[in-house]
Amino acid sequence: MIEIIESNRLIEQVIDKHNGFLKTFQSEFSDLDGKLNAAKEQSVAIKNEKDSTEARITVLNEKYYLLFHQAKKLREELFNKVIEKMRTAKAPNIQDIMRISGKIDEFEKRLQNSKNIEDEEKIIVEIKKLLYDFESEARKSGLIVTGKGVVDILNEANSSHKELISLQNKPKADTGAREVDKQIIEIEGRHSWLKRRIESHNNALAYWEKQKGGIKVD
């Protein structure tokens, strides 16, 4: 009888010991589990943002040049239509229109080769002035035209270029991603260790609970 009581007490002490370890380990594990999940989500978010930014840069790098080309094409079509009508009407100021067209053409060539946003904006301002002159000369011949479509495309191209520059100047995500990944590795080491220890103590606890249940008093 005494032996059975002593055995029960000993087993209960062992069970208490394992429960104590489990309480400590599970508390830390739960805390680390939350930190690990948060770090992984942050890592995915950083990498997704990086991929999205790189894709946007690729698009913008091509877009603003394409828009400059579209603006030039639209402008040439507009000038050709006006010049054709002025020739038919034998308008005296047709040479002024052609002179304006030549000046804009030079500015358009500079836009296609421009890499500097400040120079680009100055060129666009000059083209806008020349388009206004074009509209005024056309009115002298009784033609109502607008270069607004061309101006809108030039403004869009300029906005695209500004966005490209802002994205290129953003702090690189690589450093942030490396720091988060380093944090994940550190947490995962302790997280895995705790998981193994919890499983070990749970198995031991189940064993001793079974042993305790198997001791009977006659």
List of E strands, 40-100: none
C-alpha–C-alpha distance, residues 135 and 95, integer Å: 14
pLDDT exceeds 60 at position 218: no
Share of the chain above pLDDT 90, in %: 61
Summarize the confidence of residues 160-182 as an average pLDDT.
82
User: DSSP assignment of 91-153, as one string?
Assistant: -TTHHHHHHHHHHHHHHHHHHHH---HHHHHHHHHHHHHHHHHHHHHHHHTT-----HHHHHH
Query: In the structure encoding, which two tokens stand for residue 198, read together?
Result: 């919890």
User: DSSP assignment of 149-205, as one string?
Assistant: HHHHHHHHHHHHHHHHHHHHTSPPHHHHHHHHHHHHHHHHHHHHHHHHHHHHHHHHH
Number of folded domains in the chain? 1
Threshold 0.85, pTM exceeds: no
Evaluated on CA atoms 128, 129, 132, 138, the torsion sign reads negative
* Per-residue pLDDT at 3: 55
Domain that holds residue 171: 2-214
Each residue's pLDDT tens digit, 54-92:
999 999 989 988 999 999 999 999 999 999 999 998 999
Summarize the confidence of residues 179-201 as an average pLDDT.
91
